[in-house]
Chain A
Amino acid sequence: MPYDPTVAQLGLDEYKYGFRDPEHAVFKAPKGLSEEVVRQISAAKGEPEWMLKFRLKALKIFQSKPMPTWGGDLSDLEATLNDLYYYVKPTERMERSWDQVPETIKRTFERLGIPEAERKILAGLGAQYESEMVYHSLKGEWEKQGVIFESIEDGLRKYPDLFREYFATVVPPGDNKFAALNSAVWSGGSFVYIPKGVKVEVPLQAYFRVNIERLGQFERTLIIADEGSEAHYIEGCTAPTYSTDSFHSGVIEIIVKRGARFRYTTIQNWSHNMYNLVTQRALVHEDATMEWVDGNLGSKLTMKYPSCYLVGKGAHGEILSIAYAGPGQHQDTGGKVVHAAPYTTSQIISKSISKGGGRASYRGLCKVYEGAHHAKSNVECDALLLDEEARTDTYPYIEIEDNSAQVGHEASVSKIGEEQLFYLMSRGLSEDEAAAMVVRGFIEPVAKQLPLEYAVELNRLIELEMEGSVG
C-alpha cells in the first residue's frame, strides 16, 4: 500500500486494542505444559476428582495426536506451546458487582467499552481476564425465570449434575488435538442454561481479554438451550500486541433442544500475534435452530469452523461467517453442517476480504448421512481481493450418502469491480468512498445479523482498513 498521510493520521497501523496493563496476577502456574501444571489448575479450582481424571486423560490424548498438517502454518506453534503460561489467575475471586473488580482490570474493560454496553443492552455479562472470569452478572429478571449464566467453574460447582450430563458430550477430548489441549487445561468461559420455553430477548455477552505475554487462554463454554427456549450469546476477544506469539484455544459446546433457537455470535479481534484455534459445535435437536455468526478480524492465524450437527428431524443450522485477512494474517475459517436426521436444512454464507498479503481461506463441510432423507443444504462463499498481494482459498467438502439430498455450493472470487467504482464515482463519491461502499455492500448480509453496536464497529473497522486501498 502506498504511503498515505490520512491513513497514518488515523493510526491504522496500530491495533486499537493493543494497550497492556502491568501484570498483577495472584497465581501463575509455571511455564510449559505438564501433568503437574494440569494438577495445579485443577487444584486451584477445587475440582471434583472426575474432572482431574478427565483433564489428565485429555493431556495424554493431546500429547499423542500429531500436529495438523492442513490449514494454516503451524510450524512455529510447537515452540510457542512450550513457552506458554497455561494458567494465570488474575484475581482472588470473581465479582458480581462491577465496582468490586480490581481497578486496573476495570479500567481495561472500560477502555474496551464493556460495562457501558452491558448497561445499555445486555441481559448478562461475563468478562474473562487471563485464565479466569473476573466478573459475571445476570439481570434479575432473567435470574427469576431460571436462566443460569455463570462462569464455567461456578457452573461445575453449583450445578454438578447438569454440568456432568452435558460436558464434553458435544466436543469430546479426542475430537482434535486442540480440543484435547483445551480439555486438559481449560479455564474460564461460561456455563449457560436457558430453561424450557424461556425467551431471553436481549443478548448475553462474554468478553475475553488476554493481557500478559505468552499466555495461553483456554476458555470452555457449555450452553444448554432447553426445549422451546431462545437466546443469543455474544463473545468478543482482544489482546495486547507483544513481540512473542500468544495462543487461544477455546471449546464451545452447545445443545439446542427440541424447538429451541440459539444464536452464538463471535467478534474475534485478537492482536495479530495470536494463534486462535477454536472448536465450536452445536448439537441441534428436532425442529431446533442453531445460528453461528462468526466474525474473524484479528489474530495471526485463526482455524475455526463452527459446526451444526443436525441430529433431530427438521433441525436447522445456519452459519454466517465473515473474515478479514490483512498483512501477516491467515483466516482459515468456514463452517460445517452435518445432516444426521431427515428433513434437516442448513445454510452457510461466507464472506471474506483479503488484503496486503493476508490470506483468507474458506474451509467447510456439508455431510449428509445415509437415512437423513430430504436434507437440504446451501453454501455460498464470496471472496473479495483488495490488492494483488492478497490471497484467497476455498476448500469445501461435500459428502452425500443419501440420494434425496439437495445440496448446492457456489463460490466466487472477485476484486472490486471497475464498473461498480465508476458508477459510484459518477455519482460524486471519491474512489475510497466508493470502494468502502462496495465493501459494505459485500459484508452487509453478515453485518445486518449483528447487534447494532457490533455492526457499527465492524463497518468502522472495515472502512478504516479500506482507506487508500484502491488504485
Chain B
Amino acid sequence: MADPTVTVEPGAIRGADREAVEARASKDPAWLRERRLGAWRVCEETPMPTTKLEEWRYTDVGLFRLGEVEVAAPGADGAVPAEALARFGRERAAAGRVLQVDARVVEIELDEELRRKGVILADLATAAREHAELVEPHLATRAVPAEYGKFAALNGALWDAGVFLYVPRGVRIEQPVRVTRWLTRAGIAVFPRTLVIAEAGSHVAFVEDFASPDFEAPALSCGAVEVYASDGADVQYVALQQWGKGVRHLSMQQTIAGRDANLDTLVVNLGASVARVDLGARLEGPGARSDMLGLYFGHGDQHFDHNTRQDHVAAHANSDLLYKGALYDRAHGVFRGIIKVHPKAQRTDAYQTNRNLLLSPDARAESLPNLEIEADDVRCSHGASVGQLDQEELFYLMTRGLRRHDAERLVIFGFFGEVLERLPLPGVVEELRAAIEAKIA
C-alpha cells in the first residue's frame, strides 16, 4: 500500500515529487533544470492513463503497482554486484560499453580510436553539461517530449541513469555499443534515458540489455529512448528486455530518420512481470527506411503490451514492421500498431505484420493493426494472425523421431527465426537465440 500521506498523483510512486526533481536538477545546467521542471508540470497535469483510453485499453495501469515502489536515490553508492559486472564484461565484442546499476551509471568504456574520431559515449547528465550544443536540441524535444504522455513526462522530470551516444559525420562503428541496465532490488523505481545521435553517413548499432535477479516484490523501470539518424546514417537500435520476475518495464522509444537514413529497431520482451513499450518511427526525410522488428515470449502471468507507430511524414520512405509473439500459460500479449501516412507522403511503402502463437489454453492475445492513410500513391498493407502451432509441422518433426517437446521448441524457433534473420547483427542474433533457448527450456 502507498503511504497515505504522499499525494496520490503522479501515479503514487513514493518520492516522485518536486523535491526529487529539484534534487536531480541540482547539478544540471539551467536549460535542463527548466526542462525537468517543465516535464514535471506536464506530469502533474496529465491524468494517469486508464483502460478507457484507447491506447491503454488492454493494460490496466494497476498492473504496474506503482504504489509499491519508491524513487531510487540518484548516485547512491554500493558495491556493483558481480552478476552485473559479469554481464557488462562478458566476452562480447563491443566498441563501447555502459553499465547502469539502479539509478546510476557506474562504468563507461569507449574504444580509444573512436574517441579520437569524435565519438562521444557518456553519462547523459555529464553530456548535458559538457556538450549542451548537442544535447539541448535533441533531449526531450522532438522525439520523446513530456507531452508524449504521463510516463514520458515522469521520465522527463526524473531521469537518472542516462546514456548519451554521439557519432560524428561519416564515422562508422563496426562493433555494437552496448548498455547493460541492472536492478539490484525490489521496491525501487528507476528512470533510464537514452539519447543517440548519428550524424550524416555514420553507422552504429546500439544494444540495450535490461536484466536483474527475480524479485518477490515489484520494481519499476520507466525509460525513454530517443534515436536520431541524420541523412544517410545507418543505425540499429536493439532493446533486449530480460528483467527478472517482479520488474515492471515501461519504455517510450522514438526514432527519427532523415533523408536516405536507415533506422532499424528490434524490441525483445522476454522478462519482467509487465512490460509496456511504446515505439514510434518517424520517417522525416525522403528515402528514409525503417525495419521495426519485435519479438515477445511470455510465460506464467507475464503481460506484454506493444504500441507501435510508423509515421510517414516524408515521401518515398519505406517502413516494414514485423512483431511476433508466443505465449504460454496465462501470458497475455497485446499488439497495437498504426501506420500513419501524412498527406504529402506520396510513394510510401509501409507494411505491418503481427503474428501470435497461443501455446496454452489460457494464453490470450489482442492484435490491433491500424492504418490511417492520407496520401493516395502508396502501398500499404497489414496482416495479423492468432493461432496455434502448426500441427502438421509438429507431426512431421515427430515422424522424424523428435519428441513432442523438442518438436515444439523447433517450431517456435522457426517462428521467431523470421524476425531474427532480418537483423543485420550476427553476434547479437546469436545472443538472442541463446536467450530464447534458455526461456524455452
Q: Is the CB of B379 closer than 8 A to any CB of chain A?
A: yes
Q: Is the Cβ of A395 less than 8 Å from the Cβ of B370?
A: yes
Residues of B within 8 A of A (CB): 54, 343, 346, 356, 358-388
A402 to B386, CA, bound (A): 10
Q: B378 — nearest CB in chain A belongs to which residue?
A: A413
Contacts of A396 in B (CB 8 A): 367-370, 384
A406: which of B362, B374, B387 is its contact (CB, 8 Å)? B387
A411: which of B376, B381, B385 is its contact (CB, 8 Å)? B381
Q: Is the CB of A405 closer than 8 A to any CB of chain B?
A: yes
Q: Is the Cβ of A409 less than 8 Å from the Cβ of B367?
A: yes
Q: Is the Cβ of B369 less than 8 Å from the Cβ of A400?
A: no
Q: Is the Cβ of A405 less than 8 Å from the Cβ of B386?
A: yes
B385: which of A385, A387, A403, A408 is its contact (CB, 8 Å)? A408
Contacts of B356 in A (CB 8 A): 400
Contacts of A404 in B (CB 8 A): 361, 388
Q: A395-B368, A396-B369 are in contact. Are A390 and B385 (CB under 8 A)?
A: no
Q: Is the Cβ of A403 less than 8 Å from the Cβ of B366?
A: no
Q: A398-B368, A403-B363 are in contact. Are A392 and B386 (CB under 8 A)?
A: no
* A-B interface pairs (CB < 8 A), number: 111
A243-276 vs B, Cβ < 8 Å mask (1 yes, 0 no): 0000000000000000000000000000000000
Q: Is the Cβ of B371 less than 8 Å from the Cβ of A385?
A: no
Q: A395 — nearest CB in chain B belongs to which residue?
A: B370
Q: Is the Cβ of B388 less than 8 Å from the Cβ of A411?
A: no
Q: Is the Cβ of B376 less than 8 Å from the Cβ of A388?
A: yes
Contacts of A411 in B (CB 8 A): 369, 371, 381-383
A369-412 vs B, Cβ < 8 Å mask (1 yes, 0 no): 01000000000000101111111111111111111111111111
Given contacts A390-B376, A411-B382, A412-B380, 5 further A-B contacts (CB under 8 A): A70-B54, A388-B377, A404-B388, A407-B384, A411-B371
A410 to B367, CA, bound (A): 12
Contacts of B361 in A (CB 8 A): 370, 402-404
Q: A355 — nearest CB in chain B belongs to which residue?
A: B376
Q: A388-B346, A415-B377 are in contact. Are A400 and B366 (CB under 8 A)?
A: yes
B373: which of A370, A392, A405, A407 is its contact (CB, 8 Å)? A392
Q: Is the CB of A75 closer than 8 A to any CB of chain B?
A: no
Q: A416 — nearest CB in chain B belongs to which residue?
A: B376
Q: Is the Cβ of A409 less than 8 Å from the Cβ of B371?
A: no
A–B complex contacts, Cβ < 8 Å, 17 sampled: A389-B376, A391-B374, A393-B372, A396-B368, A396-B384, A400-B366, A402-B361, A403-B358, A403-B388, A406-B388, A407-B386, A408-B387, A410-B382, A411-B369, A413-B380, A413-B381, A415-B377
Give min CB distance, B118 to chain A, whole Å.
43
Q: Is the Cβ of A408 less than 8 Å from the Cβ of B343?
A: no
Q: Is the Cβ of B385 less than 8 Å from the Cβ of A397?
A: no
Q: Is the Cβ of B360 less than 8 Å from the Cβ of A398?
A: no
Q: Is the CB of A414 closer than 8 A to any CB of chain B?
A: yes
Q: Is the Cβ of B379 less than 8 Å from the Cβ of A414?
A: yes
A396 to B369, CA, bound (A): 6
Q: Is the Cβ of B383 less than 8 Å from the Cβ of A415?
A: no
Q: Is the Cβ of B369 less than 8 Å from the Cβ of A409?
A: yes
Contacts of B358 in A (CB 8 A): 400, 402-403, 405
Which of the listed residues A70, A386, A406 has the most CB atoms from chain B within 10 Å of its own CB? A406
B371: which of A70, A370, A405, A413 is its contact (CB, 8 Å)? A413
Q: A376 — nearest CB in chain B belongs to which residue?
A: B387
A412 to B352, CA, bound (A): 10
Q: Is the Cβ of B360 less than 8 Å from the Cβ of A403?
A: yes
